Chain A
Amino acid sequence: MQLVCPAGNLPALQAAVDAGANAVYAGFRDQTNARAFPGLNFDEAELRAGIAYAHARGAKVYLALNTYPDSARLAGWYAAVDRAADLGCDAIIVAEMAVLDYAARKHPQLPRHLSVQGSATTAPALRYMYERFGISRAVLPRVLSIQQVERLCERSPVPLETFAFGSLCIMVEGRCQLSSYVTGASPNRHGVCSPAKFVRWEEHGDGGRTVRLNGVLMDRYAPAEPAGYPTVCKGRFGVAGEVFHAMEEPTSLNTLEILPRLAQAGVVALKIEGRQRGVAYVATVTRTWRAAIDRLYAAPLAWTAEPGWQQALSKHAEGHQTTLGPYHRAWH
C-alpha cells in the first residue's frame, strides 16, 4: 500500500520523501490544479529538481492537473500535460474528460489517475473512465462508507486510492459550487475554494472577531475562541432558530483506526491532503503514516493505532480535532 503525500513546494516535497512517502503529488503554479494558492506549487525548474530528488530516493512524483478547463483555456491544460510528460512525471492526476483524452492520445505511456475531482463514486462511473480514457487508478471522493469502499474495491476496473488524512471536503468533490456562489472563484474552474483574497477579519473592542467571505458573514468568534479558515461549509449559520456548524465543524479526516480494513479491502494507495500546509505538517504526518503502514505489514495481527500516532496527527488537524468522516456511517 502506497503512501501518497502532498508537496506544495520543493521543501515540502523533500520533507515528504525524507519522511517515507512512496509518492508525492504536486501542481504547476497556475490554475491547472486544485490548490492554485498564491506562493504555492512548482515552476518547471523546481519540478525538475523535485523529480530528481524523489527518483534518486525511489519515490514517485504525480502531477495534479485536476481542474476543469473551459473551451478557451483548453490549450493551456494540454500544454501542461506535455510539460508533465517531458519532465518525467510518473503519472498525472486528472479530472476532466478532454484533458484525459488528450493525454491518452498524445502520451499513452504516461499513467493517468482519475482525480478525486472527477467525482466517480461507483463501478459504472469508474468503468466509463477506464474504457474511455484508460485510467490506471482512481482517487475516490470522500463520500463513501468503509463498507462501500470495500465493495467498490471488488468491482472497480482499476486500483483505488483513498484519502487517509487531512482537511475534509464534506461535499462530493468536483461538484461543489459553494465557493463560487459567494466569490465567483471555484475549485473546478480556478483551483481554489473560498480564496484568501475574499476573506476579511474584523476585530471587535472586546477581543471578539467576525469573519466575512466576499462580504458574507461566515462566523463570529467570542474573545479567545479559536477561529478556523472560513470555507463556506465550515461556517456557523442559523437554521430553525439555532446557530451552529450547519454543514461541518472545522475538523480533519483521520482514517488511522481503519487502516487495516483499507489495506484488507485492497486500497492500493492512501492520500494525505494538504499541499497548502507547511513542511512541519508534511514531515510529521508522512512520518506517522509511514510508521503505521510499516507496522501493519510487519505485524498485521498485532496492529493497533498507537496513541502517539493519533496525538501527532491531531496536533496537525484542522481545529485540532479529527473524524472518520463519511467512512463511518454515524457521520452521515
Chain B
Amino acid sequence: MKLSLAPLQYFWPRDDTLAFYRGIAATKIDIVYLGETVCSKRRELRTRDWIALARELADAGKEVVLSSLALIEAESELGVLGRLVEDGGAWIEANDLSAVQACRERGVPFVAGPSLNIYNHRALAMLVEDGLRRWVPGVEQGHVLIGELRAALLAGGVAMPELEVQVLGRPVLAYSARCFTARALDVAKDQCGFRCIEHVDGLPLATRDGAPFLRINGIQIQGDEIADLGPEMPKLRELGVDVLRIAPRHEGTEEAILHYDRARIAQTTPPPIGARSGYWHGEAGMTLPAEAPP
C-alpha cells in the first residue's frame, strides 16, 4: 500500500505552506497532490509556484500529482487548468469534468478526484478510456459500493485502475459560488481580504445547542469530524485499496503519516486517531447526537 497526501484544502501563508511541504518531503509519504482546489483567488502560491514545488518534491523522490479546482466558473480558471495540464509535467487530479476533458484532449493521464461523480463500473470504465489511471471515490461511497463496483468492473473484463481511499481527514461536503467565510465575516467576496487565511483548519460552525457540526472553508463546506479509517485496515486490504490518502492539517500531519506508515508496514490495525466514518458503513456520514431518533 502506498500513502498519499491530499491537496491542501485550506489557505495558509506562503511560508507556512512551503515549510509544510519541506517537512512532507522528509516523510514516508509516496504521493503528494499539489495545487489550489478550492478558490482561485487564493494566490499565496501561484500556478508557477505550485509547479515549481511539484518539481522539488519529485526531485525528493515523491510522485506528484497536480490537483485542479473543484468548481470552475471563470475563463481565467480554465487558463490555470490548461497550464497545469500542459506545463505541469505530472498527472492531473481531475476534480470536475472540465479537467477530465482537458486531460482527454491532450492525452494526459489523470486521477479522478473525490468531487468527480463516479458511482458505477460503467462510468469508471469510460473514464479509463479517457485516460483515468487512479480513482478516489467520493466521500459518500462506502466499502459496499466500492466493492460492488470493483466486482462489476472485473466481471466486465476491465482491469481495475488504482484505488485510493481517504483514510484520515474532514470530509468535503459541498461547494458553492458563494464564499461562506466572507459571508460569516460580513465582507463581500470580491473584497474578501483573503480572510480565510486566518482559519488554518477552517472556520468552525456549530449547531445552536453548541455541538460542532461543519467547517466553513471559503466556498467549501466540510464536516467538522476528522474521519479515520485506520480501524478499517483489514477491509481496506480486502478491497484491494492501493493508496491510503491523508488530508493535510496545520498541525499533526507528519505524525498522522507516521501512524499510517507503521500500520501498513506492520500489517496491523492501528488504534483510532479520529472519528468513525458513517459513510464508510453506508450510514449518515457524521456521528449523530445521542438523542437522535432511530
> What is the interface of chain A, defined by CB distance below 8 A to chain B?
68-72, 74, 95-98, 101-102, 118-125, 127-129, 132, 142-145, 148, 151, 170-172, 174-178, 180-184, 186, 188-189, 200, 214-220, 233, 236-240, 242-243, 246-248, 326, 329-332
Please, how many angstroms separate the alpha-carbon atoms of A182 and B176 in the complex? 19
Given A217-B208, A237-B206, A247-B180; 18 other pairs, CB 8 A cutoff:
A70-B149, A71-B145, A97-B123, A119-B117, A124-B97, A124-B102, A143-B73, A151-B75, A172-B177, A181-B286, A189-B119, A200-B293, A214-B293, A216-B211, A219-B208, A239-B184, A239-B216, A246-B184
Q: Which residues of A contact B193 (CB under 8 A)?
A: none
Q: Which residues of B contact A128 (CB under 8 A)?
A: 97-98, 100-101, 104
22 contacts between A and B (CB under 8 A): A69-B120, A71-B148, A119-B96, A125-B100, A125-B101, A127-B101, A128-B97, A170-B177, A171-B176, A172-B71, A172-B175, A175-B115, A180-B140, A181-B286, A184-B283, A216-B288, A217-B207, A237-B214, A238-B205, A239-B206, A243-B208, A247-B183
Please tell me if the beta carbons of A97 and B285 are within 8 angstroms of each other in the complex: no
A181 CB contact (under 8 Å) in B74, B138, B171, B207: B171
Please tell me if the beta carbons of A236 and B208 are within 8 angstroms of each other in the complex: yes
Q: Which residues of B contact A220 (CB under 8 A)?
A: 208
Q: Which residues of B contact A95 (CB under 8 A)?
A: 117
Please tell me if the beta carbons of A70 and B119 are within 8 angstroms of each other in the complex: yes
| A interface, over-half SS | mixed
Which size class do B's interface residues fall under?
Answer: 35 or more
B21 in contact (CB, < 8 A): no
Please tell me if the beta carbons of A70 and B120 are within 8 angstroms of each other in the complex: yes
Known: A186-B140, A217-B207, A238-B207. A170 touches B101 (CB 8 A): no
Please tell me if the beta carbons of A189 and B140 are within 8 angstroms of each other in the complex: yes
Q: Which residues of A contact B89 (CB under 8 A)?
A: none
Known: A171-B176, A184-B278. A240 touches B185 (CB 8 A): yes
Number of A-B contacts (CB under 8 A): 219
Q: Which residues of A contact B284 (CB under 8 A)?
A: 180-184, 214
Kindly identify, within residues 82 to 110 of chain B, every residue whose CB is under 8 Å from any CB belonging to chain A.
96-98, 100-102, 104-105
Please tell me if the beta carbons of B208 and A332 are within 8 angstroms of each other in the complex: no
Please tell me if the beta carbons of B207 and A184 are within 8 angstroms of each other in the complex: no
Smallest distance from the beta carbon of A7 to chain B beta carbons, Å?
26
Known: A96-B117, A121-B73. A247 touches B148 (CB 8 A): no
> What is the interface of chain B, defined by CB distance below 8 A to chain A?
70-75, 78, 96-98, 100-102, 104-105, 115, 117, 119-123, 126-127, 138-140, 145, 148-149, 151-153, 171, 173-180, 183-185, 188-190, 203-211, 213-214, 216, 221, 223, 278-279, 282-286, 288-289, 291-293
Residue of A nearest to B75 (CB): A151
Residue of A nearest to B291 (CB): A215
Please, how many angstroms separate the alpha-carbon atoms of A125 and B93 in the complex? 15
Smallest distance from the beta carbon of B178 to chain A beta carbons, Å?
5
